[in-house]
Chain A
Amino acid sequence: MTGTPLRLLTPGMPRRLVLATLAGAAADLAGIALIAAAAWMITRAAEQPPLAALSVAIVAVRAFATTRGLFRYGERLAGHDVALRAQAGTRERLYQALVPAGPLPRRGADLLSRMVDDTDAVQDLLVRCLLPAVAALLAGTAAVVLAAFVLPAAALLLAAGLLVAGVALPAATAVAARRRSARIAPARAELAARVADLVHGAADLAAYGARDRALSAGMEADARLALLERGRSRVDAAALGLGVLVQGLTVVAVVLAASSADLDGVATAVLALTALVSFEPVLPLGAAGERLAGVLAALRRLREIGATPAAVTEPGTPLPLPDEPPALEIEDLVVRHGDRAPALNGVSLSIAPGDRVAIVGPSGAGKSTLLAALMRTVDIESGNIMLNGVDIRRFASDDVRTRMTGLIQDPYVFQATLRDNLRLAGPDASDDDLARAVRQARLDDWTGRTGWDTTLGEDGRTVSGGQLQRLALARALLYDPQVLLLDEPAEAVDEETADALLADLLDATRGRTTLLVTHRLRGLEQVDEIVVLEDGRVVQRGPHHALVSVPGYYRDLWESEALTRR
């Protein structure tokens, strides 16, 4: 990670940016020069000089008419090229910042898409704000300089008008937009919450006859947002109107100044039309000011993500991993997420090489946290995890995960082929290795049907819950870590599939050091030890036959599972 997180420009980009800006300014200037030259040519022609006197102006008019479009084309291409490069750089740095950060919020799918959308802000900043502003500045300056040669007083008037339209108005809209977004954002969130309530809570509302009330609450939220949005359109409209007014009055003032300075018709016409056209690149800046507020907010959010502390403290000089088969000793482990009550509160457990241990318990008992601690994706508050007698905090977290990993909660299917989705757990795996992992995870039916090179959809939409879990299991088996961690492999799978999956899994893990977090108890008579966690503590432990013979969580769960079975 770089020292300053999320810089905007990477080497080589300033040059391209300058090029794009120059092209933009050239296009703006060509537009101004076209009108100025045409005005000169026409007013001069009215004085009926010899044709030769006009020939330069005629050529100029034609030249500027052609080049304006070409420069504009160049500006747009170069500008978008720079913007895309900047966006790519931002995304890469954002990703680099996320790699060591803590686990991503589970329910935060929207948050993630918004974060990714925020990286678009960089593009907006360059193409829609910075580039046109600098180009307008250059073109405006050139127009003022041109006017100064003709009549200094007119130049001053033009400069004043351009400053009002190009600096004061955008600044005002930016300030207004920032102030308003402080009120619009909560109003939007309120409306979104009401809409979500109406849609997701439709059954509750209907059952209690409360839908009309909720609908009117939703429409009230809509009305409040509408009021604020109307306020915004009034500000935008005012900026638009004022821009037109400033442009027109500047032209009037310039003509007035020219006439009181007794300037001739040619010079007056050139001045007036130059003034009129020089506002063209400047007027859109009002909208850019509006956009700038949102862009800056997005960049601020990205900077905050960049500043997120890493989830675990890495050792200064990590030890090399031991070579012998892994023996795990967990002693009095306490793990806490943020400032909440400890998720694990004094858990001890030892796992010898080849042991299979199942962890059961109600949700929120700390089962997944235990796996996260073993994978070094959360920091330990107190207690130890010893791998072959060495505290795992003395190894690099990446190294620890080469030994202890597997099927994590919410496994993800990438938009890639089935083969690539598997191969991420074994980049060097041969086709035989892949086939073996797929066979062990009982995924071979599926691969046989859909083929290895089918692209799996976004969010694995083409993948059912059972297939997803089996795919994740195949990955874990392909990776073949010394300690296989399996977090609720039968989650989000219907009962029949869950039973089949667990049976397959218990088959495939025979003889492997395995830690299995599960809600389902069928087949657990095969594992060496079952640990029942509740509220971050071990409340029961022992083999299946011992646990079902005593009252407690395990027996209750076992009995209710038996009752709901066919």
Chain B
Amino acid sequence: MRPHLAACLAAAVAAGLLVLVQAELLAGVLSGRFTTAVLIPLALVVAARGLLGWARGVFAGRTAVAVKSQLRRRLLSRFQEQDAGSARSGELVTLAGRGLDALDAYLTGYLPAVAVAGVIPIAVVVRLFAADLGTAVIVLLTLPLIPIFGALVGWTTRAVTRQQLEALTRLGGHFLDVVRGLPTLRAFGRARHQASVIEQVAAAHRTATMRTLRVAFLSSLVLELVASLSLALVAVPVGLRLLSGSLDLHTALLVLLLAPEAYLPLRAMGTTFHAAMEGVAAADQAFSLITPTPGRDPGRDHAQIRVHAPDQPTPPRDHAQIRIQAADLRISGRDHAPPAIRLEGVTVRYPGRGEDALDDVTLEIAPGEKVAVIGPSGAGKSTLLHVLLGFVTPSRGRVLIDGADLAGLDLEEWRRRLAFVPQRPHLFAATVADNISLGADVSPDEVRTAAAAAQAAEFVEALPYGYETELGERGANLSAGQRQRVALARAFCRPSAEVLLLDEPTARLDGRSEAAVVAATRTLAEGRTAIIVAHRPAMIELADRVIRLGDHAERGAA
């Protein structure tokens, strides 16, 4: 993209220089110094300018597209799983989507304008010095007035403008605010009344905007006046000197044609400045998201791990004891047996939070054991699963997998042994089959089998294109229960998984869906270790043991 940017800037500057050549030729023809035969090179220069203008646009477009793509890639690959659902995720989606388009103005408008403004006025002044000293001096003296006045007006009006902009943002948000709150207004019979408020606010908005614009446009008025009065300042003395015979017509016409070209690039730079700054703001935002904040760097937390070995681990107290059939631990395609999982004094505190999300949890889960995790919201149930997944690193304590510290394991490899169904599984804008296989190398038959096991086959087959039906954004065309079962089918599609991590798989389900999901989970859990965050009796009954995560009064596993 650097060569593209260079080509774009070079084309812009070359086109600017050709304007000088064009002025030269035109002045020659009009003054009678050149014959009309010169019109042919003139036409060629014009054609070359057109071509360069085209090249500038093409390369500017390529640059912008390439820069946006690269920023987008870096933004998306930096994104961490534990950030999902945070305020940053919404910001990121907007920025990586439309937000980066703000860069267009900067890359395709402002940068070329700056390049042109850096070269052309100097070239014009140099040519004018060679042609006519008096004009060159006038242009040289008035030229700096454009940036000086621009900065001066901008500076004196900045306070007013910022104040006005704040007012504008407030008033501009009002309409959206009212439209969003329309159901509330309707409920209290205020919807119609609000129409007149909208009118009043719009009038106030207009008055405030116009006050801002009167000042804002003043700066462009000053710049335009400087440019056109300078032209008059150049043209009138030139005319008088022609009259006295101390100047020839060719030079006079050349001066007339060239002088405006000295001011134009500076004004073009000014007009693109504002939009360009929005692009710079977008880029700043992107870079701040790409650069990790200190608290989020997972590598940093490893240093803080402190082994916390309780003197006497409290023996687990069973809430519900359910018979399980002897688990067949050897399920096809599996490299390992289910691991023994041990948490030792695991404490998690999210950055910027005052309280621990998970407070000193010590527990042991035997291979093949089915454990229900219950407790009030905020007790750290989901965090427990996230720790096991390696999404979150404990601030204190450690997780042992068959005796080995999880912090030292290859996470990718460890996750291959897991099947996870989150509390709100995300369905992707892809086919149902792709949503179930989720990257796993499985045959369509295996997808079908997984769906059947997850009690999802019936409704999937009823969809317009069955397994090939494209799901809307976030699985919009499925009910909550159906989404949950598709996510469960994902877990079924991992025959090699030895540990099931399910986060409230029946939350937000109606009675019938719940029964289906419970039955599916029961089958899936056979021969595997299952850690299920649950809050409904049916799901809890599935477990060999219930672990209650308490609040701060009730430390550790009970």
A99-B198 CB under 8 A given contacts A41-B235, A424-B190: no
Question: Does A176 touch B at the CB level, under 8 Å?
Answer: no
Is A520 in contact with chain B by the CB < 8 A criterion?
A: no
Could you tell me if B195 and A208 are in contact, using CB atoms closer than 8 angstroms?
Answer: no
Q: Decide yes or no whether A463 CB sits under 8 A from chain B.
A: no
Whether a CB of chain B sits under 8 angstroms from the CB of A226 is: yes
Select which of A66, A196, A230, A412 is within 8 A of B180 by beta carbon.
Answer: A412
Within the complex, what minimum Cβ distance (angstroms) separates B332 from chain A? Answer: 19
Contact partners of B422 in chain A: CB under 8 A: 203-204, 207
For B229, list chain A residues within 8 Å (CB). Answer: 65-66
- State whether A203 touches B81 (Cβ < 8 A): yes
B488 on interface, CB distance cutoff 8 Å: no
Docked Cα-Cα span, A233 to B180, in Å, equals 36
| Residue B525, interface by CB 8 Å | no
Which of B55, B177, B193 lies in contact with A458, CB distance below 8 A?
Answer: B177
Given A199-B93, A226-B65, A563-B537, is A210 in contact with B438 using a C-beta cutoff of 8 Å?
yes
Residue of B with least CB distance to A408: B187
- The residues of B that contact A365 with a CB separation of less than 8 Å are 510
User: CB-CB < 8 A to A245: which residues of B?
Assistant: 46-47, 49-50
Residue of A104, A269, A409 with most partner-chain B CB within 10 A: A269
Q: How far is the CB of A237 from chain B (nearest CB, A)?
A: 2
Closest residue of chain A to B175 (Cβ to Cβ) is A91
With both beta carbons as reference points, the residue of chain B lying nearest to A372 in the complex is identified as B183
B143 CB–A CB distance under 8 Å: no
Give every chain A residue within 8 A of B53 (Cβ-Cβ).
237, 240-241, 243-244
A559 at interface by CB-CB < 8 Å: yes
Q: Which of A42-50, A137-145, A149-157 contacts B (4 or more CB under 8 A)?
A: A42-50
Is there contact, CB below 8 Å, between B80 and A202? Answer: yes
- Tell me if B186 and A38 are in contact (CB < 8 A): no
Collect the chain A residues with CB atoms within 8 Å of residue B508's CB.
363
Choice from A62, A201, A241, A409 contacting B54 with Cβ under 8 Å: A241
A256 interface neighbour in B39, B179, B374, Cβ under 8 Å: B39
Q: A39 contacts which chain B residues (CB < 8 A)? A: 253, 256
Of the candidates B173, B202, B480, B490, the one having the most CB atoms from chain A within 10 angstroms of its own CB is B202
* CB <8 Å contact, A200 and B228: no
Instruction: Tally A residues with Cβ within 8 Å of B.
Output: 147
Instruction: Convert B230-255 into 0s and 1s, putting 1 for each residue whose CB lies closer than 8 angstroms to a CB of A.
Output: 01100110111011010011001100
Q: A115 on the interface (CB 8 Å rule)? A: yes
Contact A91 B202 (CB under 8 A): yes
Q: Decide: A411 and B184 in contact? CB cutoff 8 A.
A: yes
Q: Does A223 contact B (CB under 8 A)?
A: yes
Q: Which residue of A lies closest to B90 (CB)?
A: A199
State whether B429 touches A194 (Cβ < 8 A): yes
Instruction: From the candidates B72, B235, B490, name the one contacting A38 in the complex (CB within 8 A).
Output: B235
Chain B interfacial residues counted at CB < 8 A: 152
A142 vs B490: C-alpha distance in the bound complex, in angstroms? 72
- Tell me if B58 and A234 are in contact (CB < 8 A): yes
Contact of B43 among A41, A204, A248, A458 (CB under 8 A): A248
B479 interfacial by beta-carbon distance below 8 Å: yes
Q: Would you give the shortest CB distance from B213 to chain A, in whole angstroms?
A: 5
User: Is B313 close to A, CB under 8 A?
Assistant: no
Q: Are B195 and A69 in contact (CB under 8 A)?
A: no
B283 cross-chain contacts in A, Cβ below 8 A:
none
Please report whether the interface of chain B is mostly helix, strand, loop or mixed according to DSSP.
helix
Chain B residues near A92: list those with CB within 8 A: 195, 198-199, 202
Contact status B54-A237, CB under 8 Å: yes
A363-B480 in contact (CB<8A): yes
User: What DSSP secondary structure best describes chain A's contact surface?
Assistant: helix
A479 CB within 8 Å of chain B: yes
- A371's nearest neighbour on chain B, judged by CB, is B187
Contact with A along B256-271 (1 / 0, CB 8 A): 1100000000000000
Task: Given A69-B224, A115-B179, A412-B183, check contact A209 B415 (CB 8 Å).
Answer: yes
A265 to B194, CA, bound (A): 67
Are B511's CB and A229's CB within 8 A?
no
* A61-B232, A77-B213 known; A42+B176 contact, CB < 8 A: no
Interface string of B49-64 (1 = CB under 8 A from A): 1111111111011101
**Is B545 an interface residue, CB under 8 A from the partner?**
no
Across-interface contacts of B243 in A (CB, < 8 A)? 45, 48-49, 51, 54
In the bound assembly, the distance between CA atoms of A359 and B182 in angstroms comes to 25
Inter-subunit contact A69/B228 (CB<8 Å): yes
Residues on B with beta carbons closer than 8 Å to the beta carbon of A402: 189
A84 vs B209: C-alpha distance when bound (angstroms): 9
Q: How many angstroms between the C-alpha atoms of A435 and B73 in the bound complex?
A: 54
Which residue from A215, A398, A414 sits with its C-beta under 8 Å from B181? A414
Q: How far is the CA of A200 from the CA of B375 in the complex (A)?
A: 26
Evaluate contact between B81 and A206: CB separation under 8 angstroms. Answer: yes
Q: Is the CB of A563 within 8 A of B374?
A: yes
From the candidates A62, A85, A240, name the one contacting B232 in the complex (CB within 8 A): A62
Task: Give the residues in chain A near B30, CB-CB below 8 Å.
Answer: 43, 255, 265, 268-269, 272
CB of A317 within 8 Å of the partner chain: no
Partner of B239, one of A45, A115, A364: A45
Tell me whether A112 is interfacial, beta carbon within 8 Å.
yes
Bound Cα distance A103, B183 (Å): 7
- On chain B, the residues within 8 Å of A41 by CB distance are 235-236, 239
**Would A242 and B195 count as touching, CB distance under 8 A?**
no
Nearest CB in chain B: distance from A279 CB, A: 12
Q: Does chain B have a CB within 8 A of A18?
A: no
- Contacting A48 at CB < 8 Å: which of B57, B209, B245, B256? B245
A410 vs B181: C-alpha distance when bound (angstroms)? 9
Is A72 at the interface (CB under 8 A from chain B)? yes
Check if A208 sits within 8 Å of B181, measured CB to CB: no
For B312, what are the chain A residues with a Cβ–Cβ distance below 8 Å? none
Do the beta carbons of B210 and A80 come within 8 Å of each other?
yes
- Take A65-B229, A88-B206, A233-B57 as given contacts and tell me if A495 and B376 are in contact as well, using a CB distance cutoff of 8 Å: yes
Q: Is B418 an interface residue (CB 8 A)?
A: yes
For the complex, is B348 an interface residue (Cβ under 8 Å from A)?
no
Contact B69 A414 (CB under 8 A): no
Chain A proximity of B56: nearest CB distance (Å): 7
Residues of chain B within 8 A (CB-CB) of A68 are 224, 228
Q: Would you give the 0/1 interface string for B528-541, flagging 1 where the beta carbon is closer than 8 Å to chain A?
A: 00000001111010
Q: Which residues of A contact B (CB under 8 A)?
A: 31, 34-35, 38-39, 41-43, 45-46, 48-49, 51, 54, 57-58, 61-62, 64-66, 68-70, 72-73, 76-77, 80-81, 84-85, 87-88, 91-92, 95-96, 98-99, 103-104, 107, 109, 112-113, 115-116, 119, 188, 190-210, 213-215, 218-219, 222-223, 226, 229-230, 232-234, 236-238, 240-245, 247-249, 251-252, 255-256, 259, 265, 268-269, 272-273, 276, 362-365, 375, 377, 398, 401-402, 405-406, 408-415, 424-425, 427, 458-459, 472, 475, 479, 494-496, 534-535, 553, 556, 559-560, 563-566
Query: What are 18 pairs between A and B in contact, CB < 8 Å?
Result: A41-B239, A57-B239, A80-B209, A88-B198, A104-B179, A115-B179, A188-B98, A196-B473, A199-B83, A202-B81, A202-B83, A207-B81, A226-B65, A233-B58, A244-B15, A272-B26, A415-B173, A425-B188
Instruction: Please name 4 further chain A to chain B contacts, defined as beta carbons within 8 Å, in addition to the given A363-B508, A427-B190, A559-B537, sorted by A numbering.
Output: A76-B213, A116-B179, A188-B98, A207-B389
